[in-house]
Structure 1
Amino acid sequence: MRQRLLDVLHLLDALPAPRGGERTAAHRLRAWCAERWPHVEWQVLEHGSTGGSLVADRGAGPLLYSHLDTSLDEQGAATRLVTGDDTPVGPLTVDGDTVTGFGLGVARGPAAAALVAFAEAGAGRLLLAGSGTHRRTSGITGLEAYTDAYPLPPSAIVAKCGPPTLLWHEPGAFYLTVRVSGRSGAAMVAESATPPGGVVAQAGVVLDELARWRTAFLAADPKAGQTGRACGIGAISGGWPDKPDLLPAQLRVDLYVVVGDQAEPKTLAAELTDRLRARCAASDLRDCEIDVVAEPVASAAATPADAPVVTAARAAWLDEFGTRPPPITGWTGSTDGVVLRARGVDTVRLGPRARPDTDEPRRDALSLTELAAFARMYRALLTELG
């Protein structure tokens, strides 16, 4: 099992698969799998302009799902904006039981385990989906393309890194976009802008109120089921870096919000708008317009705790580790499991734990022993539920 996993991991490491640009990687992976396991009919499901997913079907059984894309590319403008570094990350390395490389946590590690498990199980379906990570204005995802083209499975197993337990309840997520608009001006004439000095110079007022709102939002978390709330500022923008002598008319702040309960995004956006307007009215931003827009990604959803796929996953966990999966509350990771549940598919999520590499935070580290354990559990679930 260890060697088979390493073979797949080395292959994936050599195939760039940024979100929405996985098609070439999907075709190369399909060709490799067809040579390695010719008894399986491997297919590529293309979607969007350059997206692609690896699909295979071995008869009755659940869908084993992970995703092919790595969210970011190994280097480039987007990676630099997030990590501050666009130098080459370096190839996959193996040191004893630890494998380290780019994109192992999202999601090459569990995807490799899912691929090996499916090839050996002889039952069920496999989807390694392109465009499997949250992104706004991104078009159709690999999972959406799959559910449009194929019959829905009776149940699904999401192979993703996560907590050391089973998840059958996942939170939803949405984006909030805050815009504070004044009047542009020139840096050499500070009074020409509204507010004087420009709206970006007063960003601290907005960020301070957002921090207060976040504290209240998290404190109101009802801790529904296994899930919880989370919120973070992912982007701040305003002005033109090539010409900073011009004071911009608008400050924009983008937030990612996770909710395990059935909170209404538009209601939260309206509440935040009122808070920001009140705060800005008492500051130099009093003459500015405040606007907050919510953009839903997915709603929180749960599978019944006694559903057959959850019961089977508990049994597989006990067989593999000798203990029952521990309880969990406050989980804030939202995946495509919510998409499957929204379509009426009972879904459970389980996978290894990834951690940032000590020397290079852009690389993830995984235990091969743990990865093999989850591959065996995926294989057992496909066989038992097939």
Structure 2
Amino acid sequence: MAPGRRRLGTLLTPQRDAGEEIVRVLEVLDGVPSPYGHESAAAVRLASWCTARWPWIDWTVQRYGAGGANLQAGGPAGVLLYSHLDTSLGGDPSEDRPITGRADPPPPLKVTSTHVEGFGLGVARAPAAAALSGFVSAASRGVPARLLLAGSGTHRSTLHGPGGTPRSTGLDHYLATEPRPPAAVVAKGGPPTILWEEPGALYLRLRVRGRHGAVLARESAVPHGGVIAHAGPVIDAVERWRATYVAAGTAPGTQVGPAAGIGSLTAGRPDKPDLFPALLEAGIYAVTVPGAAPQDIAAALRTGVEAACGTGPLADCKVEVDIDEIDPAAATPADAPIVREARAAWRAEFGGDPPPITGWTGSTDGVVLRARGIDTVRLGPASRPSPDDPRCDVLDLASLKAYARLYGRLLTRE
């Protein structure tokens, strides 16, 4: 689209307050579920709304996989402003219940004069809406920039199920098909500062394998009573490993730190509890620091569990650990142009330097961009859990508007 057409478009399109635009985007997103890998309906609906609202901008839905989709806007040049469409929880109570413990649907978006509250706002609808508003502001001034609201932006392990599931993310698809951007800004909620370093993400699958049996014949299983009856020592061993890992894995002089924990524990079939299962399986997430070696992390976990189980009822069981590294930790140089520009934009918006931070444990697709040699910063509005429903997030509209302005400044590179 020619710059003159852009300027004409801004004259012909009634302008709204940035907070109002952000709320309208959130209302559009709130009406369509966008679980991981199934974002196409949300992408199409948001693209249609944006096209009607800003027809002088090219809004494109880029599909990939069975149901994934990205929403792209702008030209191929300039800084890439990135966020994602999928939510951490999918929004389907039947799918989310093992995590939330609830069978009722999430409540609709709630808007007051000062804040918004709703499902999926923290990850990542609210930052995505602020990014979209900031992009439109920059595009209205003829700034060459690119907006990408990607599918499959939340972490998922490929270790579940037979043989796992091949990973296909919206950002991977974008980077494989579109021109490489000179720099990127990740619009994700987080600490009230600028991150130019991010930790890595590692999934581990711990398996303790015995022999199945029948409840009516307790001694038929190995160990007697089945592996579930002896899960306590396994969990205790994982927790001891976790404490050691976190204490030893600090990264002095960096913005990031380690974390780990059990996120799932499975064994047997709920519809056949008269049988003792042979397999106890724990899904573990580890946040990694620069220089971390996944093989060493897995070996330490396996050794700890083997030692804890070697002299008890689980002595005849086999312990295995599988590795699924999403991405290693990655950093952009602190003096890179995009970092300097982010600092300047922060000072212009907030009146001071971004606060220093250490021990940050949140990993995003910023590590993917950095792995491709793309200098990247991450910043975004902070959310807090709803006091009425922990599945929902609360964000201040003033903060969302501030970050929208900040994103616009960064795209403009003022």
Q: TM-score, normalised by structure 2?
A: 0.91
Count of paired positions? 385
Question: Among 187, 195, 210, which residue is 2:215 paired with?
Answer: 187
Contact 1:227–1:331 (Cα < 8 Å) also in 2: yes
Tell whether 2:37 aligns with 1:20.
Answer: yes
Deviations 1:37-84 (A, max 9, x none): 111111011011011010112453100000011132222332111101
Deviations 1:340-378 (A, max 9, x none): 000000000000001110110000000000000000000
Q: Which moved more, 1:170-179 or 1:89-98?
A: 89-98
Correspondence for 1:221? 249
Question: Among 95, 114, 131, which residue is 2:112 paired with?
Answer: 95
Correspondence for 1:312? 341
Contact 1:75–1:87 (Cα < 8 Å) also in 2: no
Deviating beyond 6 angstroms after TM superposition, the runs of 4 or more aligned structure 1 residues are none
Question: Among 114, 125, 150, which residue is 2:178 paired with?
Answer: 150
Q: Which moved more, 1:274-283 or 1:346-355?
A: 274-283
Q: Give RMSD over aligned pairs.
A: 1.1
Deviations 1:211-239 (A, max 9, x none): 11111111102324100000010000001
- Give the secondary structure class of the aligned counterpart of 1:157: strand
Matches within 5 A, 1:179-258: 179-224=207-252, 225-258=254-287
What is the CA–CA distance in structure 2 between the aligned matches of 1:345 and 1:107, rounded to whole Å? 22
Correspondence for 1:378? 407
Correspondence for 1:135? 156
Judging changes above 3 Å, is the alpha-carbon distance between structure 1 residues 154 and 80 closer, same or farther for their aligned structure 2 residues? same
Deviations 1:90-121 (A, max 9, x none): 21111231110000001000000111111120
Query: Identity rate of aligned residues, in percent?
Result: 54
Correspondence for 2:3? none
- Give the secondary structure class of the aligned counterpart of 1:208: helix
Judging changes above 3 Å, is the alpha-carbon distance between structure 1 residues 200 and 59 closer, same or farther for their aligned structure 2 residues? closer
What is the CA–CA distance in structure 1 between the aligned matches of 2:137 and 2:250, rounded to whole Å? 42
What is the CA–CA distance in structure 2 between the aligned matches of 1:88 and 1:71, rounded to whole Å? 15
- Give the secondary structure class of the aligned counterpart of 2:251: coil
The residue type equivalent to 2:234 in the other structure is: V
What is the CA–CA distance in structure 2 between the aligned matches of 1:70 and 1:212, rounded to whole Å? 31
Contact 1:202–1:284 (Cα < 8 Å) also in 2: yes
Contact 1:23–1:46 (Cα < 8 Å) also in 2: yes
Deviations 1:129-174 (A, max 9, x none): 0111001235310000000110110000000000010000000011
Matches within 5 A, 1:270-285: 270-285=299-314
Correspondence for 1:83? 100
Matches within 5 A, 1:7-46: 7-46=24-63
What is the CA–CA distance in structure 1 between the aligned matches of 2:129 and 2:172, rounded to whole Å? 22
- Give the secondary structure class of the aligned counterpart of 1:126: strand
For structure 1, the residue ranges without an aligned partner over 5 or more in a row are: none
Correspondence for 1:159? 187
The residue type equivalent to 2:229 in the other structure is: A
Matches within 5 A, 1:109-120: 109-120=126-137
Contact 2:205–2:323 (Cα < 8 Å) also in 1: yes
What is the CA–CA distance in structure 1 between the aligned matches of 2:380 and 2:170, rounded to whole Å? 20
Deviation, structure 1 residue 283: 1.1
Deviations 1:2-40 (A, max 9, x none): 111111111111121111111111111111111111111
What is the CA–CA distance in structure 1 between the aligned matches of 2:75 and 2:290, rounded to whole Å? 37
Contact 2:76–2:179 (Cα < 8 Å) also in 1: no
The residue type equivalent to 2:54 in the other structure is: W
Q: Which moved more, 1:255-264 or 1:297-306?
A: 255-264
What is the CA–CA distance in structure 2 between the aligned matches of 1:163 and 1:57, rounded to whole Å? 28
Correspondence for 2:202? 174
Deviation, structure 1 residue 261: 2.3
For structure 2, the residue ranges without an aligned partner over 5 or more in a row are: 1-17, 159-164
What is the CA–CA distance in structure 1 between the aligned matches of 2:403 and 2:94, rounded to whole Å? 34
Contact 1:353–1:366 (Cα < 8 Å) also in 2: yes
The residue type equivalent to 2:150 in the other structure is: A
The residue type equivalent to 1:136 in the other structure is: S
Correspondence for 2:329? 300
Question: Among 304, 309, 318, which residue is 1:289 paired with?
Answer: 318
Contact 1:228–1:261 (Cα < 8 Å) also in 2: no
Q: TM-score, normalised by structure 1?
A: 0.98
Correspondence for 2:125? 108
